[in-house]
Chain A
Amino acid sequence: MALAQTTETPIGVGAQQRSVSPWIAKQAPNLLLGLVLVLLPAVANDFILDQILGWTLILGMIALSLMFLAGYGGMVSLAQMSVAGVSGYMIAVLGTSSLPKISLFWPWWVAAPLSIGIAVLFGTFAGALSARTEGIYTIMITLALAAAFFYLTLQNWPVFNGFNGFTTIPAPHFLGVNWRDPVPLYYMILFFAALSYAVVLYLSRSPFGLALQGVRDNPRRMEAIGYNVTAHRIAAYAFAALIAAVGGILMVWLNNQISPFSIGIDVVINLLVIAVVGGLSHPIGPFIGALIYVILRTFALDALVAVGLDGRRFQTLIGLGFLIIVLFSPDGVVGIWRRLSERARAAGGRNGA
């Protein structure tokens, strides 16, 4: 069972049937999901919107950046949470927070793009360090980088304010809307999550995305047919960093604070758990994984106590779930879904559909 087999329709073939109705038929599940998410605020309360869905979409986005690198590129980068952390910290430092002696209070339309830019630079740097080594080293190097960033934020006070971090980092007002309110914030998060999902899905069949998959499958052959494998990998890290960076800013606006413990090693590892459990072979995987994680995190305490176990053993639960997936369905929930639908199709075929 491969961890990621990401090919769907062959290039050129699907595009030939560019009339509208078949395209809608193929995109139906995505569109339906989109519709449900857009209409959700009508029925859901603020808690569900912010704490459940907001976190799901944000963690999903950051995990999507991991999935892009790991699923399409074969590079399991544990630095993505740190990239999000960089942009999250930068928006606090450059923009508004409760610490006037550090924050610069620049307007959001200056602070946000700058923060994203700095985070992308950091992500590209992480890629440059790990791109020249074999795939299995990537996990080691990026984990060490994530730890380095954690210790930096923990021990540095002039810029990162040490273990206190920053609080009161609000989303801005613009277009007459207070984006801090639950419903507008939800739509903003939904917009960026959907956008990144769509872009990653589209990119997977573009020359860049296909080349990345080639690099994953056989870097030596890619060199032998004219690709600069290292450059391609670094470019992939840069693109993934963009998604993680946007996720980082949204995370800070939702959470209203950031500290070293938002980006500590356990959070970094949980992000990998999310991506793997959801499935590395399709962009919807990270979001599925994030939903499972957020629901578990919110309700696990009560559930564990209800069965008579210690409510604090949440991490054991996570570890067990993760282990079960890796042992029995390494391509995650997406993989389970795929196998079930193949079996259903085969059964339908046998019964003379």
Chain B
Amino acid sequence: MTQAFGDQGADQAPGRGSAPAEWIGRNPVAALVIAVAIILALWLVLAPWPAGFEDVFGKKRLFINALFNGITLGGLYFLVATGFTLIFGLMRNVNLAHGSLYLFGGYMGYEAGQWTGSWLFSYVIAFVCCALIGMAMQFLIFRRMEGQDLRQTLVTLGLSIIFSDLMVWVWGGNAIQIDTPDYLVGPVPTPIVVAVKSSGEAVFLQYPRVRLVIFAASVVIGIAMWLALHRTRIGVMIRAGVDDRDMLSVLGYRVQLLFVAVFAFGAGLAGMAGIVGGTFQSISLGEDSHFLLASLVVVIVGGMGSIPGAALGALIIGCSEQFGLVYFQNYATVLSFLIMIIVLAIRPQGLLGRR
């Protein structure tokens, strides 16, 4: 029974009804708490805040901006972390060069954008470049170290040290910003109320189009991956391999092809995320460490080897970072790590991870 990537957990007797209903039955208090939290969240977002409330908690505009920024940042983190968790889940390889792939993709995307003027095309370039590197890594190096998880991870570490330094050599220490293409510039009106003018007229949130588009793209990619994993033959192989790697060896030579494909895909995703990051914020030296760490935290919180886990973790960490920036300036990053520590203490395998 494959249980990877979001399937329900073990220990269920057959024929007991749907899993969520059963979970609610077993954890009534937790279910109630989550229901209340959802209702509260919906009210916070959709309803105008009364004046007294705003005196205590600050302006709703601030909150809504932090929320939207957090969610869209979560989309970016999802793109990076998902490749990381795929590579770890299937090949048991903690790819410490993942941040370097992110940064390299961003740089290559920037160069491609400069050269062709097309923002979309730069994604293709970034994906292809990073996928090729990923393919080379798996095919030339890791294939020879089958089963030696720690050794493979150390190799990725060595590679990341070299990549990082070489990228500093080529692109220096300056921050590079990738321009948003003209057709995506500008705000988009949303139906979310952020304030009520003294005249009684509601003020609606205007949010940058590009961030919404990229978030939508992340969601589409996530759904596409989920479908691929659950509806295609390759997907079944991947999930089976994540569950029980030894079982895969029965399938023979195709296993290595699968590993190469997965590594390439994960690396390519990270590269594309680099362009996203360059557009949202900027890319520069040090961002490789930053996004590697972000992937680590997201995957630890969400669950190792789980793509829904990566999505959940990315959302949590994205929001915690943005809310931290707005409400606890000095300790924004520490807040994310605190969440990670709490999750580790209570549920070491991550929120959606399996033991």
A residues adjacent to B (C-beta < 8 A): 3, 76, 128-130, 132-133, 135-137, 139-141, 143-145, 147-148, 151-152, 155-157, 265, 269, 272-273, 276, 310, 312-313, 315-316, 318-320, 322-323, 326-327, 330
* 16 A-B residue pairs with CB within 8 Å: A136-B94, A137-B304, A140-B94, A140-B296, A140-B299, A144-B296, A144-B340, A148-B341, A151-B337, A155-B330, A316-B165, A318-B161, A319-B161, A323-B159, A326-B154, A327-B155
Report chain A residues within 8 Å CB of B154: 272, 276, 322, 326, 330
Report chain A residues within 8 Å CB of B28: none
CB pair B162 A326 closer than 8 Å: no
CB pair B165 A136 closer than 8 Å: no
Distance A141 CA – B161 CA, assembled complex (angstroms): 19
Which residues in window 318-355 of B have CB below 8 A to A? 330-334, 337, 340-341, 344-345, 348-349
A320 in contact with B337 given A136-B94, A139-B153, A310-B169 (CB within 8 Å)? no
Given contacts A272-B157, A319-B158, A319-B161, 11 further A-B contacts (CB under 8 A): A140-B94, A147-B293, A147-B337, A152-B334, A315-B162, A315-B165, A316-B165, A323-B162, A326-B154, A327-B141, A330-B151
B residues adjacent to A (C-beta < 8 A): 92, 94, 96, 141, 149-151, 153-155, 157-162, 164-166, 169, 289, 293, 296-297, 299-300, 304, 330-334, 337, 340-341, 344-345, 348-349
Distance A190 CA – B141 CA, assembled complex (angstroms): 40
Residue of A nearest to B141 (CB): A327
Distance A266 CA – B331 CA, assembled complex (angstroms): 22
Q: Pick from A155, A157, A269, A327: contact of B161, CB below 8 A.
A: A269
Main secondary structure on chain B at its contact with chain A?
Answer: helix
Report chain B residues within 8 Å CB of A272: 154, 157
Q: How far is the CB of B42 from chain A (nearest CB, A)?
A: 32
Report chain A residues within 8 Å CB of B164: 315
Distance A158 CA – B59 CA, assembled complex (angstroms): 28
Report chain B residues within 8 Å CB of A310: 169
Listed from nearest, the 6 A-B pairs whose CB atoms lie closest are: A319-B161, A148-B337, A323-B158, A319-B162, A315-B165, A316-B165
CB pair A129 B345 closer than 8 Å: yes
Distance A327 CA – B157 CA, assembled complex (angstroms): 12
A155 in contact with B293 given A141-B344, A144-B300, A316-B166 (CB within 8 Å)? no
CB pair B337 A155 closer than 8 Å: no
Report chain A residues within 8 Å CB of B297: 144
CB pair B337 A144 closer than 8 Å: yes
Q: How far is the CB of A87 from chain B (nearest CB, A)?
A: 20
Distance A276 CA – B158 CA, assembled complex (angstroms): 11
